[in-house]
């Protein structure tokens, strides 16, 4: 044994609907000692993302569920604290999928070295990580915004939505964001520079969204579903593209879903407007990662892409922060600072 204590958060029970703190359990166990070819990672930052809700359920999705009693999955930034692996030395910083824990053993698979001088380490979980790449690949490959077109994205102050809107503007399109509450809306409009922003909490939200899209909607980057979908749907132009990367509004719903049945109306418009609906997860586009790192780093340096992080201190607070994420309580990319010395 390493003599170190690993604090970890495991899945205690599968939530029905909205998760509660009781669905998680904190455990302290001895951190393992790396054997030949292995290394021990100390987690500095843990990413919290909506997709994790899906992993808590037993239903088959694009990834297997987390087993009961197993450590919750998640992307992390970590420091190598012991290494018996030829490619990694003590003190190296890496991106890893170490999950909700303070130490993790690795054989080096799936790690990516990080240069702390190039960008703040935590950005490897956000704008220069999976959320940023989801926006980049989904918008540019599926959405393909053209100059003068209108791109709509919800959760516009979040790491995916913020990036989608800024990339839309870089491509010459008009970016319309949807966010919850005046503070987030002001940030989307004033700091991120979206052309328009609409508060989904407004009682006349659908009407305001329509006013914000006088030429209709050509690309809707779908990451929420629910009431936002209902407001955007009537605005689609012919040949609109709808990359679907998330449906956070329905992750806590178990179904069956009450009528009326909206599917026939959606299919009717898919046909009559020649719409494209395309689900994706970013790993399908992994061959674009080098382009992504090059383009996005440059856009950040040039000030053309901005980002915001919502950093929660301490692994123990991960469950409550994650539950808040599903309710939209975070403001910016939600990251847990696991190691207080980071």
Which residues make up the interface to its own copies (CB under 8 A)? Answer: 54, 60-62, 222, 225, 229, 238, 244-247, 250, 253, 255-281, 284
Gap between the Cα atoms of 116 and 104, Å rounded: 20
- Least separation in angstroms between residue 143's CB and its own copies is 13
Encoded tokens for 126: 């956000």
- Least separation in angstroms between residue 223's CB and its own copies is 10
Q: Which is nearer to its own copies, 54 or 324 (CB)?
A: 54
Q: Which is nearer to its own copies, 258 or 302 (CB)?
A: 258
CB 10 within 8 A of CB 70: yes
With vertex at residue 254, the alpha carbon angle to CA 251 and CA 255, rounded to the nearest 5 degrees, is: 120
Residues whose CB is less than 8 angstroms from the CB of residue 60 and which lie 6 or more positions away in sequence, other chains included: none
SS3 311: strand
Q: Which is nearer to its own copies, 13 or 253 (CB)?
A: 253
Q: Which is nearer to its own copies, 257 or 287 (CB)?
A: 257
- Least separation in angstroms between residue 266's CB and its own copies is 6
- Least separation in angstroms between residue 161's CB and its own copies is 16
Residue where the block lists tokens 């909206």: 262
Q: Is 91 exposed, middle or buried (0-12, 13-18, 19+ CB in 10 A)?
A: exposed
- Least separation in angstroms between residue 14's CB and its own copies is 17
Q: Which is nearer to its own copies, 149 or 309 (CB)?
A: 149
CB neighbours (10 Å) of residue 75?
22
């Amino acid at each position: 044994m390493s003599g170190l204590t690993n604090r970890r958060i495991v899945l205690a029970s599968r939530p029905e609907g909205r998760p509660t703190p009781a669905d998680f359990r904190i455990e302290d166990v001895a951190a393992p000692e790396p054997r030949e070819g292995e290394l021990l990672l100390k987690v500095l930052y843990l990413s919290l993302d909506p997709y994790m809700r899906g992993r808590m359920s037993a239903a088959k999705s694009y990834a297997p569920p987390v087993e009961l009693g197993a450590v919750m999955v998640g992307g992390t930034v970590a420091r190598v604290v012991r290494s018996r692996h030829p490619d990694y030395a003590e003190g190296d910083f890496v991106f890893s999928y170490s999950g909700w824990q303070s130490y993790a053993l690795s054989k080096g698979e799936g790690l990516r070295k990080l240069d702390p001088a190039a960008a703040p380490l935590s950005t490897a979980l956000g704008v220069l990580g999976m959320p940023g790449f989801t926006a980049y690949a989904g918008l540019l490959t599926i959405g393909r915004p053209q100059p003068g077109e209108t791109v709509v994205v919800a959760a516009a102050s979040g790491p995916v939505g913020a990036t989608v809107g800024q990339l839309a503007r870089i491509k010459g399109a008009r970016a319309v964001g949807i966010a919850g509450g005046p503070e987030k809306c002001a940030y989307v409009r004033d700091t991120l520079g979206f052309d328009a922003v609409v508060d989904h909490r407004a009682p006349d939200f659908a009407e305001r969204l329509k006013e914000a899209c006088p030429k209709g909607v050509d690309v809707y980057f779908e990451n929420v579903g629910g009431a936002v979908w209902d407001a955007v749907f009537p605005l689609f132009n012919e040949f609109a593209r709808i990359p679907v990367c998330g449906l956070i509004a329905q992750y806590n719903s178990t179904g069956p879903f009450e009528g009326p049945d909206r599917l026939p109306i959606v299919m009717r418009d898919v046909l009559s407007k020649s719409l494209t609906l395309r689900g994706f997860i970013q790993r399908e586009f992994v061959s674009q990662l080098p382009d992504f790192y090059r383009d996005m780093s440059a856009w950040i340096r040039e000030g053309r892409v901005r980002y915001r992080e919502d950093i929660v201190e301490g692994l123990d607070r991960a469950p409550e922060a994650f539950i808040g994420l599903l309710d939209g309580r975070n403001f910016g990319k939600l990251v847990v600072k696991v190691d207080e010395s980071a």
